[in-house]
């Protein structure tokens, strides 16, 4: 499962046949990382594997005692701020899943060359409907750790990340504001002798950074 460690160290079983594997799930917010982690864990649970789920204990957005998706699906989990403190419990389980590994576990990228599987998920850009690979803060906080959901963060594509609060020329054919404008122009052209209407698809957000 997705896991992260504070240094590039892997604990290997004395029995090579049970040494296991590392799977890493990357992606911006709202890309379904926790949903995918829960899906994989449930598969192992159904197969009667003994699973341990670990969460960052300071992340209590949706549930204090479990990992949770943005739509409130929850699995019970062990909270911690230091992954090494869970080693004794981890070693007596078959499968270990770690959610939100970026909080407090700064060396997550060290897992990439050690992992058997690395998956990069994408979300939908909240400005232009394109493929979103980045997470952008909405506010002006400068702290490294700012825990929050849709009230603090948005998923964006590269072009919308670089041009906050504007319609990026790189993705304007898909942009909500442009679609809204096109809808209004189409309605104006067909309004002679008819009752016309327009649909405003613009999603207005305060991007104050």
Output the pLDDT for position 8. Answer: 37
Would you say residue 111 lies in a domain? yes
Q: Pick the catalytic residue: 9, 36, 82, 100?
A: 100
CATH code (residue 160): 3.30.60.20
Output the pLDDT for position 13. Answer: 45
Co-location of 76 and 111 in the same domain: yes
Output the pLDDT for position 106. Answer: 66
Co-location of 81 and 100 in the same domain: yes
Element (H, E) at 38: helix 33-46
Co-location of 110 and 62 in the same domain: yes
Name the pTM for this structure. 0.69
Q: How far apart are the C-alpha atoms of 137 and 68, rounded to whole Å? A: 21
Tell me which residue range forms the domain holding 40. Answer: 20-121
For residue 136, what are the contacts with CB-CB under 8 A and spacing of at least 6? 153, 154, 155, 156, 160, 161, 164, 207
Judged against a pLDDT cut of 80, whether residue 131 lies above it is answered with yes
Known catalytic membership, residue 100:
yes
The number of folded domains in the chain is 2
Q: How far apart are the C-alpha atoms of 100 and 80, rounded to whole Å? A: 11
Would you say residue 200 lies in a domain? no
């Amino acid at each position: 499962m997705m896991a992260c460690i504070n240094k590039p160290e892997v604990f290997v079983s004395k029995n090579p046949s049970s040494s296991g594997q590392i799977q890493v799930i990357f992606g911006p917010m709202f890309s379904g990382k926790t949903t995918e982690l829960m899906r994989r864990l449930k598969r192992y649970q159904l197969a009667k594997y003994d699973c341990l789920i670990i969460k960052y204990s300071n992340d209590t957005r949706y549930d204090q005692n479990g990992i949770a998706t943005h739509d409130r699906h929850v699995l019970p989990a062990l909270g911690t701020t230091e992954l090494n403190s869970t080693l004794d419990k981890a070693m007596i389980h078959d499968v270990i899943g770690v959610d939100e590994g970026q909080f407090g576990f700064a060396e997550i990228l060290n897992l990439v060359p050690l992992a058997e599987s690395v998956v990069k998920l994408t979300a939908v850009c909240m400005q232009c409907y394109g493929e979103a690979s980045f997470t952008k803060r909405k506010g002006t906080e400068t702290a490294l750790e700012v825990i929050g959901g849709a009230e603090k963060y948005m998923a964006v594509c590269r072009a919308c990340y670089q041009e906050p609060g504007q319609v990026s020329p790189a993705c304007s054919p898909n942009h909500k504001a442009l679609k809204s404008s096109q809808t209004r122009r189409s309605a104006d052209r067909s309004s002679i002798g008819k009752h016309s209407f327009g649909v405003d698809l613009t999603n207005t957000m305060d991007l104050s950074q």
